[in-house]
Amino acid sequence: MLTLTDAQQTQPLDEEALSDVDAYWRACNYLAVGQIYLLDNPLLKVPLLPTHIKPRLLGHWGTTPGLNLVYAHCNRVIRERDLDMMYIIGPGHGGPAIAANAWLEGSYTDHYPDVRQDEVGMKRLFRQFSFPGGIPSHVAPEIPGSIHEGGELGYSLAHAFGAAFDNPDLVVTCVVGDGEAETGALATSWQSTTFLNPARDGAVLPILHLNGYKIANPTVLARIGDEALTDLLQGAGWRPYLVEGDDPEQVHQALAGTMDRVLDEIADIQREARSGAEPRRRGEEGWRPWPMIVLRTPKGWTGPHIVDGKQVEGTWRAHQVPLAEVRNNAAHLGMLERWLRSYRPHELFDDDGVPNERLRTWAPTGTRRMGSNLHANGGRLTRGLDLPDFRDYGVDIDGHGRTTSESTRVLARWLAEVMRRNMTTFRLFGPDETASNRLDAVYDTTGKTWGAQVLPVDEHLAADGRVMEVLAEHLCEGWLEGYLLTGRHGLFSCYEAFVHIVDSMFNQHAKWLNTSRRIEWRAPIPSLNYLLTSHVWRQDHNGFSHQDPGFIDHVVNKKAEVIRVYLPPDANCLLSVADHCLRSRDYVNVIVAGKQPELVWLSMDEAAAHCARGIGVWDWAGNDEGDPDVVLACAGDVPTLETLAAADLLRHDLPDLKVRVVNVVDLMRLQPPREHPHGMPDPEYDALFPPDVPVIFAYHGYPWLIHRLAYRRHNHEHLHVRGYKEEGTTTTPFDMVLVNDLDRFHLVMDVIDRVPGLGSRAAVVRQELVDRRAENRRYVREHGTDMAEVADWVWPDQ
């Protein structure tokens, strides 16, 4: 069963402390209700009138009193123990609670001086909430102390662990809503205890708030019984303590005592781990589970109990706005006034609306206030990475396109040194794919974080490892986001097809970045870096289910200011791009690169220059002499291979045709500068892709994205794009490009079909290409491998 602490029967708070914490809680509740309802008359100096009420009532009351309760009790332990504590809010619409607390402790006014701690400031606080030109009802970037917006539910606990990693003195209090607890992302996050190292990391204190209901239904964890809930939480490595009730005095005493108990346990666990003793692993004898709290209080506690004959408090009806017709229903207006006055605001604020001394002294001071905690504005703590010179890790080549290398394996050697130099500020995240993605050289520097049992057959597991592997993309993403938001750096490596699992998490983070860039006091944070490999074109044994390059399309839907997409064509370009991305701030960088052996096209110096441009003519591959008949463009490693092979065929079969080869690394260069900061001006674009000259573009992903990026360009009518068109199976590398018409033969056929006057002159060549396509398909099905003319092709020695 859930553990009942001694605090359920004892009185840890003396009379004065009990009165003070209750006053603070009442003040925050009052401020939260005021935000939901009031435009004017914030101190109720006159009876409420309909004109004092907002015309549109938007906000969520149900979770608010619980969030305020926990915040008030956190303030006490911060003051008494001098804790460095963050507050992460899982319930989706906890905005009024956290805005209220930030204002009451003074953090809000510090960040927004016009929202003063007086009647005028209180009115502004109320008016701006869920109001045009104001702040959202979520715990958005505008709220001081937040790193987590409750738009989509489920990320709070993963973010909390990400914040705690490598922050040994930090305690992250995370309120988990019981509706939120039904999400897959949150359900997985309970297992993070296996990856938290008390010797070097901070602590996470989850508070599962069981108020029993979500929007319109009961919550699962509130209805499965204490025994099942205890088994569930204990199985994930927690020792749950229950605090429950609906009598404020009793709940205050119980929560205060329980907070003291769990913080003592956390300190003991950390003290033992930092004493130099042999670490105890989860599942082994003597391992101590991390404490947590289950808080069971009524939904909408202290609000209207009965409205229009129906119970509201303690039911799903309290979820949003308990009194929905206040402007045109006199009875509701009267109930709202009685509700507000029940908090006795005259005891809490003076005639000018200034919080009284007991409220001001209950809150911590300076950066110990949770609304001013430095970790919650992580850019203020960010230190640049100590990066080795990527040029020292490049592949030496013997001519363009004649040396073979595995791009991600080359990158891994550089990443290993990055991790060695930045042992407390950089981590690598991925869902059990580090070795599969050829990044296993990092194990020469550090192991995989692991706090459970270790068997003799295991390799690279270490309590102090810095590679975060768990077979849950949600958890990898959430950990990394929490790590970045608190000022550290990282890289998320994932199979390209399955990064879609975190599509909505990417959405939320991109929106957070977009908003925070407009908030003056938010300091830039390290970028969210994705390395997508095991990509669509090389799924030799996995097949169709593993073939989806659409994450790029999803990313470019977001604001241009925050997204970047890179398609390095070889290992040396990958090194240059990765170095650039790890140095950047406030972006989402998507890098797509294969892990299989492939040709290296550029020397290290050439690669660095090419990546700095983001796009460029490979003059060594063409013969246009400044006046092309056709442009062969490419973006992505496999499309680059097929494009260069097509250029070689054209040299041989149509030597008089003037061909230009253009490679694109930075996909956003294709857009005009008014669409994206990296976009090329029209004259520069026209110089690469001259008007009226056919462009055959081989692209890594879905072809329509290139059309979308370039549709405003002068030459768009002559742009023809080949890419993935949802054809695939378990097959050979070349057969994969054949079935999607991205192969070298088809690219040459496209040239013949689209260069004016070439069709009739090159009819025989075209027919031969059709036959060679058919021959290659037959060979694959007979022999199970590609023909030597394809598999062994290299750029001819000029």
- pLDDT tens for residues 628-649? 999 999 999 999 999 999 999 9
| Strand 306-307 relative to strand 310-311, pairing | antiparallel
Q: Rounded CA gap, 95 and 60, in Å? A: 8
> Distances in Å between the alpha carbon of 644 and those of 287, 549, 703, 731?
58, 22, 19, 22
* DSSP-assigned states of every residue in 503-531: HHHHHHHHHHHHHHTT-TTPPP-B-EEEE
Q: How many residues does the chain have?
A: 798
More confident: 92 or 582: 582
**Sign of the C-alpha dihedral, residues 469, 472, 473, 475?**
negative
Q: What per-residue confidence (pLDDT) applies to 1?
A: 47
* DSSP-assigned states of every residue in 372-426: G-GGGGGGGT--------GGGGPPP-SSTT-EEEEHHHHHHHHHHHHHHH-TTTE
Q: What angle do CA 74, 79, 85 make, to 5 degrees?
A: 50
Q: Under DSSP, is residue 617 helix (H, G, I), strand (E, B) or coil?
A: strand
Contact 596, 406 (CB under 8 A): yes
Contact 415, 441 (CB under 8 A): yes
Amino acid making up residue 36: I
pLDDT of residue 6 exceeding 60, the answer is: no
Contact 261, 198 (CB under 8 A): no
Q: Rounded CA gap, 331 and 326, in Å? A: 8
Contact 547, 728 (CB under 8 A): yes
pLDDT of residue 3 exceeding 70, the answer is: no
First to last CA, the chain: 77
> Distances in Å between the alpha carbon of 771 and those of 495, 647, 736, 741, 766?
35, 19, 17, 14, 9
Q: Helix 503-516 crosses helix 473-485 at what angle (to 10 degrees)?
A: 10
Question: Which strand ranges, in their side-by-side order, compose the sheet holding 467-469?
Answer: 461-462, 448-449, 467-469, 426-430, 489-495, 528-533, 588-592, 563-566
List, for residues 688-737, the tens digit of each pLDDT value. 999 999 999 999 999 999 999 999 999 899 999 999 999 888 889 999 99
* DSSP-assigned states of every residue in 15-35: HHHHHHHHHHHHHHHHHHHHH
Phi first, then psi, for residue 190 (nearest 5°) are: -55, -30
Contact 144, 371 (CB under 8 A): yes
Q: Rounded CA gap, 587 and 518, in Å? A: 14
* DSSP-assigned states of every residue in 555-572: HTTS-TTTEEEE--SSHH
**Sign of the C-alpha dihedral, residues 673, 679, 684, 685?**
negative
Phi first, then psi, for residue 449 (nearest 5°) are: -60, 130
Contact 199, 272 (CB under 8 A): no
pTM exceeding the 0.85 threshold for the entire prediction: yes
Query: For 491-497, what is the mean pLDDT?
Result: 95
List, for residues 393-422, the tens digit of each pLDDT value. 999 999 999 999 999 999 999 999 999 999
pLDDT of residue 7 exceeding 50, the answer is: no
Q: What per-residue confidence (pLDDT) applies to 473?
A: 96
CA 775 from centroid of its chain's CA atoms: 46
Share of the chain above pLDDT 90, in %: 91
pLDDT of residue 8 exceeding 70, the answer is: no
> Distances in Å between the alpha carbon of 112 and those of 102, 103, 107, 350, 374?
11, 10, 9, 21, 17
Q: How much is the mean pLDDT over the chain?
A: 95
Partners of 666 in the beta sheet? 566
The closest of 712, 718, 666 to 692, measured between CA atoms, is 718
Q: Rounded CA gap, 435 and 187, in Å? A: 26
Q: What per-residue confidence (pLDDT) applies to 726?
A: 92
Q: What angle do CA 762, 763, 764 make, to 5 degrees?
A: 95
> Distances in Å between the alpha carbon of 169 and those of 83, 85, 86, 203?
8, 9, 11, 8
pLDDT of residue 547 exceeding 50, the answer is: yes
Partners of 585 in the beta sheet? 526
Burial of 358 (0-12, 13-18, 19+ CB in 10 A): middle
Radius of gyration of the chain (CA): 30
List, for residues 764-796, the tens digit of each pLDDT value. 999 999 999 999 999 999 999 999 999 999 999
Q: At 635, which helix (H) or strand (E)?
A: strand 630-635
Contact 160, 482 (CB under 8 A): yes
Torsion of CA 553, 559, 563, 567, to 10 degrees: 40
Q: What per-residue confidence (pLDDT) applies to 4?
A: 54
Partners of 696 in the beta sheet? 632, 720
Q: What angle do CA 482, 486, 487 make, to 5 degrees?
A: 120
Which residues lie closer than 8 Å to 154 by C-beta, 6 or more apart? 180, 183, 184, 185, 186, 189, 474
> Distances in Å between the alpha carbon of 643 and those of 84, 570, 721, 743, 752?
56, 14, 12, 8, 14
Torsion of CA 675, 680, 684, 689, to 10 degrees: -80
List, for residues 553-603, the tens digit of each pLDDT value. 999 999 999 999 999 999 999 999 999 999 999 999 999 999 999 999 999
> Distances in Å between the alpha carbon of 150 and those of 96, 98, 312, 524?
12, 12, 23, 21
**Sign of the C-alpha dihedral, residues 406, 409, 414, 418?**
positive
List, for residues 434-454, the tens digit of each pLDDT value. 999 999 999 999 999 999 999
Asked which of 24-28, 618-622, 642-646, 724-728 is least confident by mean pLDDT, the reply is 724-728
Q: In the 8-state DSSP scheme, what is residue 438?
A: T
Asked which of 181-195, 266-280, 619-633 is least confident by mean pLDDT, the reply is 266-280
List, for residues 253-291, the tens digit of each pLDDT value. 999 999 999 999 999 999 999 998 877 888 888 889 999
| Strand 3-4 relative to strand 84-89, pairing | unpaired
Q: Rounded CA gap, 629 and 375, in Å? A: 57
Q: Which two tokens stand for residue 517?
A: 């860039």
Contact 430, 260 (CB under 8 A): no
Q: What per-residue confidence (pLDDT) applies to 798?
A: 63
Burial of 357 (0-12, 13-18, 19+ CB in 10 A): exposed
SS (H, E, C) 126-179: HHHECCCCCECCCCCCCCCCCCCCCCCCCCHHHHHHHHHCCCCCEEEEEEEECC
Asked which of 2-6, 234-238, 727-731 is least confident by mean pLDDT, the reply is 2-6
The closest of 694, 683, 704 to 658, measured between CA atoms, is 694
Phi first, then psi, for residue 544 (nearest 5°) are: -60, -40
Contact 632, 646 (CB under 8 A): yes
> Distances in Å between the alpha carbon of 556 and those of 141, 367, 531, 708, 725?
22, 37, 16, 10, 19
Helix, strand and coil content of the chain, in percent to the nearest 5, comes to: 45, 15, 40
The closest of 480, 458, 466, 464 to 527, measured between CA atoms, is 480
Q: Rounded CA gap, 751 and 680, in Å? A: 25
